[in-house]
Structure 1
């Protein structure tokens, strides 16, 4: 099969990844009526870790203490990111949760500036300004000069900080260590942290939910498809699709998120919110595509 054909196939895989992630916001929002946010994070990543570990069991022969500790460290950041995102989704709409989460794309080069000693390009500052404007239109409510951002939107923006830190930290470890094993221990650490903290944050788990087919299917979707399958599709796709195009495809996650929330949850976008979403998406494209275009030309 020719490289161009592979690029088309795996490009479609990246779009599918974005669609799976986008629909996951609907699944999370709908499941919060039954399962507490911490329990949800615990269950989804435990499922992901078990399935991932069984699928790549032969990789464990390469395990060492660095992979274990680095994977667990990344798992802590991943857990905090998904926990704040999931709790945030409980207090805001799935569509807003999807778009506000993607602010991490802008934060990565800004937070990474002192870490990598690399000053962000002009496009990052423009993207940040455009994104902040979009966030204001999407998340701020109020009359006159007084505006209030609800706690769900604030928590969703905080989750973006943890995701940005997760990406920055991960960029150091993946260069030297087995990415499959790193991912397994991220999933495993997130699941363990979830089970350790859920009784304190959410209370006891309602065992009767195991008989609820809706909850079971939702948790399997989040654990297998939104976590494990998407990781595989993303990494394989990045191998065959130009990075600029791959970034654009993956950034469609926010678009799918708001479309799915409107279709399946009946959420509505006002004109102000629509403009806010459009500005955030433009900022994401600006921050991701331009640097990757430069890299592809080298």
Structure 2
């Protein structure tokens, strides 16, 4: 129980960092294009992780294996797909719809966990997912109207992020966290670099005038250290002590933290519906932490035959 609470709190801090750095990233990509920004961000994080690995956790290097490299590559690929399709979708749809559709990964995670791992879905977890999904809608409903191609691209992003959470839960208990995270982050850096070369003005990723400008440098340093190296190491290390559904609900707090920091730092204003949505997301996260079982009438729908060893409740 103590491990689970520590894991949930640590993951909540990750969501806080991601939400708090949203404004920084938004300002930085006005000067450095998204793939280029992610290339530098994830490359710096990969270097930091490798240095820590080499200097303080060198014994983990002896545990490197083909299965670990494949697992790290899968996680990195899913993470890259999420960022890439979110970026492409943002060019064709609104930020409000992007936030809502991306946040729907909170609904996809328990569904993937049920189908893939045959995990039991607790009643409070189900209620928490519904509350969080409703909260995401109320936060962004002012711009939800007809669907377009951009929405479809962002939906692929949501699937990728949901699968990333689910697969992190699978791999995190099998391999050393630091080594697995280093491979994952390095994969995102390489794929972002290739995409920058193919689709953007990649020269800016090596232009000192751009990299050393105030908004870009501060965003790169904060996101590479806190929002990437530390955040994904924490997720990989602690997700083994909780469930994928709880992780998804905790990460649904990211837009809440983004809204709060936007209000405090950038002078953004929150509508009454957005405030209500924030409260719904928070209530969903708290509800999922409470003990409870699924009523008997729902068990045939939400509980599938379990695979051997799959005894955690989502």
TM-score grouping bracket, smaller chain normalisation: 0.7 to 0.9
1:136 counterpart residue number: 137
CA contact (8 A) 2:124 2:293 kept: no
Match of 1:204 among 198, 202, 205: 202
Counterpart-to-counterpart distance in 1, 2:109 and 2:263: 29
CA contact (8 A) 2:123 2:293 kept: no
CA RMSD of aligned residues (A): 4.1
**Residue 103 of structure 1: how far off its partner (Å):** 3.7
Match of 1:52 among 46, 49, 57: 49
CA contact (8 A) 2:106 2:248 kept: no
**Residue 194 of structure 1: how far off its partner (Å):** 0.3
2:115 counterpart residue number: 114
TM-aligned CA distance change 1:209 to 1:292, over 3 Å: farther
1:35 counterpart residue number: 32
State the TM-score, normalizing by the size of structure 2. 0.73
Counterpart-to-counterpart distance in 1, 2:178 and 2:292: 24
Counterpart-to-counterpart distance in 1, 2:215 and 2:34: 16
Counterpart-to-counterpart distance in 2, 1:239 and 1:110: 19
Q: Which residues of structure 1 form unaligned runs of 5+?
A: none
**Residue 285 of structure 1: how far off its partner (Å):** 3.6
2:160 counterpart residue number: 162
* Cα shift readout 1:132-172 (whole Å, capped 9, x = no counterpart): 43333333346xxx934687776555433212101222222
Aligned positions of 1:214-293 closer than 5 A = 214-232=215-233, 252-286=253-287, 288-290=288-290
CA contact (8 A) 1:248 1:289 kept: no
State the TM-score, normalizing by the size of structure 1. 0.77
CA contact (8 A) 2:72 2:181 kept: yes
**Residue 36 of structure 1: how far off its partner (Å):** 1.4
CA contact (8 A) 2:136 2:281 kept: yes
1:68 counterpart residue number: 69
Q: Which residues of structure 2 form unaligned runs of 5+?
A: 295-310
CA contact (8 A) 2:132 2:252 kept: no
**Residue 85 of structure 1: how far off its partner (Å):** 4.0
TM-aligned CA distance change 1:255 to 1:120, over 3 Å: same
* Cα shift readout 1:40-90 (whole Å, capped 9, x = no counterpart): 222211111110011012122221111111111111001112333455667
* Cα shift readout 1:92-146 (whole Å, capped 9, x = no counterpart): 55x886676444333211122111123533334434443443333333346xxx9
2:80 counterpart residue number: 79
Counterpart-to-counterpart distance in 2, 1:214 and 1:247: 30
Larger CA deviation: 45-54 vs 158-167: 158-167
CA contact (8 A) 1:244 1:296 kept: no
TM-aligned CA distance change 1:18 to 1:128, over 3 Å: closer
**Residue 234 of structure 1: how far off its partner (Å):** 5.4
